[in-house]
Amino acid sequence: MVTIDTLRKVALSFPAATEEPHFEKTSFRVKKKIFANYDGIKKRACIKLSETDQHIFSTAGKPIIFPVDNKWGKQGWTLIEMSKIKKQLFIDAVTTAYCETAPKKLADLVRPVAKNYSDSSNIHRH
C-alpha cells in the first residue's frame, strides 16, 4: 500500500518540485505546473502522463491505474488506486509524470539516460 507520505517523499525529491493546495486536494508541481495530486477522501493519486505512457501504465489494470473517465483522461490525466499499486510501479509512474511536465533541463536530471544504446551498463540516473 502506498500512502500520501510516499507520494510526498517521491514528488518532493524532484528538482524544483513544490507541494501546494489545489481546491480540496494536495498538488505537486514543477514550475507552477501540476504533475500529480492527491485526493485524501478517495485515497488516490492523479498524475499527468503522455498518451503513450498512460497506455503503458494502464496495462496494470483498471482497478490499479487508469485514465480519468472524461476529457481530462484524454489529456493524459491518470488515476492511481494507492491501496492497490505496488510501490515501485507507483514511483515509476510519478517519476514519469514529473518528467512529462517538467522543463527538459529539470527532467533530464531524473530521467534515465542511455549514453550508448549498445551497452546497457551505461544506462544510469543522474
* Beta carbons of 79 and 67 less than 8 angstroms apart: yes
Q: Tell me the pLDDT tens digit for each residue of 7-20.
A: 999 999 999 999 99
User: What are the angstrom distances between the C-alpha of 68 and each of 26, 31, 72, 98?
Assistant: 17, 24, 6, 18
C-alpha cell recorded at residue 43: 485515497
* Beta carbons of 48 and 101 less than 8 angstroms apart: yes
Sequence spans of domains, the chain = 4-113
Q: Tell me the pLDDT tens digit for each residue of 80-100.
A: 999 999 999 999 999 999 999
C-alpha cell recorded at residue 98: 514529473
For residue 125, pLDDT beyond 80: no
* Beta carbons of 46 and 4 less than 8 angstroms apart: no
Amino acid at 66: F
Q: Tell me the pLDDT tens digit for each residue of 27-44.
A: 999 999 999 999 999 999
Domain 4-113, what architecture?
Answer: Alpha-Beta Complex (3.90)
